[in-house]
Amino acid sequence: MFSVTLLCVGRLKEPFYLSAAAEYAKRLRGYVDFQITELPESRLPEQPSPAEIAQGLAREAEAIREKLPKGAWVCALTPEGKEPSSEELAEMLAGVKGRGKSAAVFVIGSSYGLDASVKAQADARISFSRMAFSSSASRITTGTSPSPASRAARQRRSPAMIW
């Protein structure tokens, strides 16, 4: 079965986000081996300097790299990424599977984003919008709403691609 991992820096705390994440994860598990992996966000001072932010992102990047499954297709969710349509995202995932990959990992950074090295290492970089969203909202958009990718996959009658 195709594996999809949502690798997130930071934890969901609000009950409504936790509930939404649990519900959508339950739905996805009927189609893919779906997991959410949460990594701790680097502790920074109240008003961090650019150097402190860079150091925190570098620590987070190391933790991310340690959790990436070998051979997985990696997609960084970042504001400067491409904004695919629902159909394009479904095609992207179908292509990943078609190239013999058995796992996809979507990486969501902390409140300060992702280190440049993680973005460079990723096979793809996508954005859901040019607008800025909190990490929690990005996570819900990625894995807990009736996703555009799942609608597109259903239209193709390809349940293995629903995520």
pLDDT in tens, 47-71: 999 999 999 999 999 999 999 999 9
Residue 93: give its domain's CATH number.
3.40.1280.10
The span from the CA of 6 to the CA of 76, in Å, is 10
**CB hemisphere CA count around 76 (13 angstroms):** 22
pLDDT at site 140: 65
State the distance between the two ends of the chain, measured CA to CA, in whole angstroms.
13
Q: What is the mean pLDDT of the chain?
A: 85
Count of domains observed in the chain:
1
Nearest to 143 by CA among 14, 8, 39, 1: 8
Kindly give the parts of the chain with pLDDT less than 50: 144-163
Strands 73-82 and 33-39, sheet pairing: unpaired
Amino acid residing at 98: G
Give the domain range for residue 86: 3-161
pTM metric for this prediction? 0.81
The whole-angstrom separation of Cα 61 and Cα 102 is 23
